[in-house]
Amino acid sequence: MEVLLESGGERVALVRINRPEARNALNSAVREQLARIFVELAGNDEIRCVVVTGTEKVFAAGADIKAMADAQPVDMMLRAGERNWAPIKDFPKPLIAAVNGFALGGGCELAMHADMIIAGASAKFAQPEIKVGIIPGAGGTQRLLRAVGKFKAMKILLTGEMVSAQEAEAMGLVTEVVPDGEVLDRALALARSIALLPPLAARKIKELVLQGGDLPLEAALVMERHAFHLMFATADQKEGMQAFIDKRSPNFKGL
pLDDT tens for residues 97-141? 999 999 999 999 999 999 999 999 999 999 999 999 999 999 999
Residue in 106, 120, 139, 240 annotated catalytic: 106
pLDDT tens for residues 160-211? 999 999 999 999 999 999 999 999 999 999 999 999 999 999 999 999 999 9
Percent of the chain clearing pLDDT 70 (strictly above)? 100
Query: If we measure between CA atoms, which residue out of 64, 60, 57, 45 comes closest to residue 15?
Result: 60
Catalytic residue chosen out of the listed positions 25, 60, 61, 63 = 63
Whether the CA torsion 81, 120, 127, 155 is positive or negative: it is positive
Which one from 103, 107, 109, 123 is the annotated catalytic residue? 109
For residues 105 and 81, is the Cβ–Cβ distance under 8 A?
A: no
- pLDDT tens by residue, 60-104: 987 777 778 788 888 878 777 888 999 999 999 999 999 999 999
Q: What is the mean pLDDT of residues 221-245?
A: 97
Q: Any catalytic annotation for residue 32?
A: no
Instruction: Find the catalytic residue in 25, 60, 123, 129.
Output: 129
Specify the pLDDT at position 1. Answer: 85
List of residues 6+ apart from 66 with CB closer than 8 A: none
129 labelled catalytic: yes
For 97, what's the count of Cα atoms within 13 Å in the CB-facing half-sphere? Answer: 27
pLDDT at residue number 78 = 79
**56 catalytic per annotation:** no
pLDDT digits (tens, 9 = 90+) for 12-29: 999 999 999 889 999 889
Q: What does the pLDDT look like over 48-57, one tens digit per residue?
A: 999 999 999 9
Beta bridge partners of 4: 16
CA distance 97 to 34: 13
Q: How far is CA 40 from CA 26, 36, 47, 220, 223, in A?
A: 20, 6, 10, 30, 28
pTM over 0.75: yes
| Angstrom distance (rounded) from CA 60 to CA 17 | 8
Active site residue 109: yes
Alpha-helical runs (H) found in the chain: 28-42, 65-68, 73-79, 81-89, 106-112, 140-148, 150-159, 165-171, 183-195, 199-212, 217-230, 235-246
The pLDDT assigned to 46 comes to 95
